[in-house]
Structure 1
C-alpha cells in the first residue's frame, strides 16, 4: 500500500506543477466481498486521466464521471458501487471522492518519513451514505503532525462521520546479492510489485545499475560493511551469487540482521554445504538465524526459466511476510484476502 500512496502523491505533485486539478479517491468501506479491500486508492485529473485503480477496471469509469462534480464544486462526496448487480462480485463498495491539493510541507515531510523508514497513519473521514457532506476528507499523521490532503478541509461537528484509519509501513525492499542474469529477472519482477530493489555485487562483477532495469541502486560493499546496510523487518534478502564462497561470506556477514526473509538459491545439498561451512567458520552462530533461511528459495510451481524462478521466489516472500501458506484459492474455503 505504501508504494501505491507514494505513486499517487508523486502524480498529484506533478499535476499541481502543471496547474491541473485532481481528486483523491479512497475505498472506505465494504459490504460483502470485492476485488480489493478498503484502503485502496487512486487519483483522477480534471482531464479524466487516472493513476492507480480500486478494482479490476469496472468501477473506474463511474468514478471519473462522479469526480466531475467534486472538481467543479470542490466538495467531497461519497458514492457506492454494487458489484452484485453490475460485475458479478458479492459486495458493495463505498468510495470517498475528495479534492486534493498537497502542500509543499506535506510532500517534504512525507519524503522524510519514507527515507527514515518510519510508519505513519492516514485517517479518512466520511459519511456512510451516498451524497455530499461537510467535514469529509483524509488526514495524514506523521511524527505528531497532521496534514490534510486538501487545505480547505475543516473539522466538522457532523456526528454521522465515520473514520477509516490505515497504518502505512515503510516501503518494502529487496536486497539481491548477486549480479547474474537471474538477478536481472528477479529485480524486474520485484519492481512490478512496487518494491525498492538494491543489487549487492562484488567489485569484480563490473556491472552498473543500468544492467538491472528494476533496481534503484547497485552497491559493492565489502563483507565487513554488510551489517551497516539498512536491513529491517520490511526487507527481504535473496542470495543468488552462484558462488559457494561468496554465499558463505555473505551469510556470515548477515548473521545479526533482522530481515523479513532470507532466501538462498540452489539445491538442498548445496544449502547444506553452505550452512555447514558457515558453522565451521562461525560455530557460535545463532541456530535461529540458520533456521530462518529459506533454501532452496521459492515455492514449488515447476519453475524452470529465470523469470519463472523469480515468480516462485517472490511468491514465497509474500507468503512469509503475509504469514500465508501457499494453497490453491479454489481449495481455500475462507476469504481470499484472509
Structure 2
C-alpha cells in the first residue's frame, strides 16, 4: 500500500472514502511483490496495481464491495485448468490480497484502523521511516487491524487482543524496518510464539535508496534520469564547477561540486546505495574506488574501456587493494547491450544494477530456463513466512 502512499494521502486529506487492496503474499510466478496495492475510491477512480492486469477487474470489484460493507476481506487468486480463461493468474502463480476499506467518517470500519492507516500514509508521503503492520490472517475480529511503528519505538494504533501482541508485533516490524524490507511474519495472538496464530504483513517505509553518479558528463545526465525512474535519490558529483550544474542535470535530486572521494568520505551510506563512477580519470577514480570498494554498498561500477579497466586495477593494487575487494568492481560498467548513446549506456548500467539487486542472470529470457520472477533471497513469502 505504501507504494501509492502519496496519492492515498491526498485522498485522506480531501476526506475521500476508498478501499485499498494489498498483495500480502505470493507463491510461484507472481507479477507484483507483497506490498503492491490497488485502491478504488467511492467515485470508482482507481490507482495502483496488484497483478499487472491479470486480476485487476476482480480486485476492483472487491474494493467496491468493501466500500459498501465496511469490512476487510482476504482473497486468493491463482491459476487452474478450470479458471484459465476466467479470473486468475495465467502466469501460474498465486497471490493473496487483503482488501481494507478506509472511510473518512469511520462508519463500520474501526476509527483506530483508519487513523493508523492515515498516519502511515502521511509518513510515507513525507519520506519518513516507519513500518506498518496489519493483521492479514487470524481471528476474524483482528483482520485488517493496523499498528504503525517508528524507529524510536513509538506506536500508533493497536492490533487488538492481548496487550503483548502489540509489543511482539512492534519488535517484528522494527526488525523488518531495520532491513528496509516488506514481508509477512507469524506470531501468536497472545504475543507469544504459540497459541492461535496471527499473520502480519509488515510494510517498511524508508527513504528512497541512493544513487551517486560521479562525473558530470552526458552519460551521467542520462543515468540520472533512469535512476529517478527506478526510484533512487540521485546525486551527481564532480570537482569541476563549470560542468557540475543543476541546469545540466535536471533529473538529479542534487548536484554537488566536490572532489568525489572527499564527498564520499562525508556520506552515511547503506546497503541499498549504488555508486556509478563515470569519470574514467585516474586522479578521480583511484582515490574514489579505494574507498567505495570497502563500503557495504549494493553496487560499485566504473566506466571505461577494457584497457582503462586493467590500468585502473593496477593502480588500485598499487595503493593496497586486495583481490577480493577488486572483485566487487563492476567494470566496464553495465551489461552487454551493444549500447552506444548516453541513453543506451544508462539503460545497460541500470539493467546491471537491477540484475544485481534481484539476482538476475542478465541473459535473454528467450530460450532460457531461468525464472522470470526471482524468489526473494531470504526464502518464500507465502502467508506465515518472512518475505
**Fold agreement, TM-score > 0.5:** yes
- Quick one: structure 1 residues 224 and 198, their matched pair in 2 at CA, closer, same or farther if it must change by over 3 Å? closer
Aligned partners of 1:268, 1:66: CA distance in 2, in Å? 55
Q: Give the alignment's TM-score, normalised by structure 1.
A: 0.80
Aligned partners of 1:242, 1:204: CA distance in 2, in Å? 18
Which stretches in structure 1 are left out of the alignment for 5+ residues?
Answer: none
Give per-residue Cα distances to partners, 1:169-192, cap 9 Å, x unaligned: 663221111222211211111222
Secondary structure at the residue paired with 2:98?
strand
Does the 8 Å contact 1:44/1:64 carry over to 2?
yes
User: What do you get for the CA RMSD once the two structures are aligned?
Assistant: 3.3
> Counterpart in 2 of 1:197?
234
* Bigger Cα displacement from structure 2, 226-235 vs 61-70: 61-70
Task: Detail structure 1 runs of 4+ shifted over 6 Å in the superposition.
Answer: none
Aligned partners of 1:81, 1:299: CA distance in 2, in Å? 36
Does the 8 Å contact 1:12/1:102 carry over to 2?
no
Matched, 1:66 2:62: yes
Of 202, 213, 219, the match for 1:182: 219
Secondary structure at the residue paired with 1:88?
coil
Aligned partners of 1:58, 1:228: CA distance in 2, in Å? 46
Figure out how many residues of one structure are paired with residues of the other and give that number: 322
Does the 8 Å contact 1:178/1:200 carry over to 2?
yes
Does the 8 Å contact 1:252/1:278 carry over to 2?
yes
> Counterpart in 1 of 2:22?
26
Note the C-alpha offset of 1:203. Answer: 3.8
- Quick one: structure 1 residues 315 and 95, their matched pair in 2 at CA, closer, same or farther if it must change by over 3 Å? same
Secondary structure at the residue paired with 1:218?
strand
Of 278, 284, 306, the match for 1:268: 306
Which stretches in structure 2 are left out of the alignment for 5+ residues?
Answer: 103-113, 163-188, 191-195, 376-387
- Quick one: structure 1 residues 190 and 81, their matched pair in 2 at CA, closer, same or farther if it must change by over 3 Å? same
> Counterpart in 2 of 1:316?
352
Q: Give the alignment's TM-score, normalised by structure 2.
A: 0.71
- Quick one: structure 1 residues 335 and 146, their matched pair in 2 at CA, closer, same or farther if it must change by over 3 Å? farther
Matched, 1:214 2:251: yes
> Counterpart in 2 of 1:51?
47
Does the 8 Å contact 2:236/2:244 carry over to 1?
no
Aligned partners of 1:185, 1:65: CA distance in 2, in Å? 41
